[in-house]
Every structure is written in structure tokens, then in C-alpha cells.
Amino acid sequence: MRRTLLVGQVDGTPAQESPWVPLFERAGFAATSQGLFARWAGGEV
């Protein structure tokens, strides 16, 4: 099973413009045109 998460906004700002982007990237998120995207394998997130 794969789990995915897409964050579109952070504090009302488009996610890819947020000052939090470096922290999301360290947590495994990638910037996309729709926001910050993460994918995990297995059931644990």
C-alpha cells in the first residue's frame, strides 16, 4: 500500500511559496505545481 499527501496551502499561502518549504523537503516532500507532495511505501506514515 502506498500513502500520499499533497499540501496545497500553508497558513493561507501556496505551499511552494511558504518559508516552511525547506522543512517539508527534509521530511521527504517535493515541490510540484500543485503544492508539496510526499509518498510513502507501506502503512506507516
Q: Give pLDDT tens digits along the chain (45 positions).
A: 789 999 999 999 999 999 999 999 999 999 999 999 999 887 665
How far apart (Å, rounded) are the C-alpha atoms in residues 10 and 12?
Answer: 5
CB atoms within 10 A of CB 28: 12
Q: Residue 45's pLDDT is what?
A: 58
Strand residues in the chain grouped as ranges (E) = 2-7, 9-10, 13-14, 30-32, 35-41
Position 4 scores a pLDDT of 94
Nearest to 17 by CA among 5, 40, 33, 4: 33
Q: What per-residue confidence (pLDDT) applies to 43?
A: 61
pTM of the model: 0.78
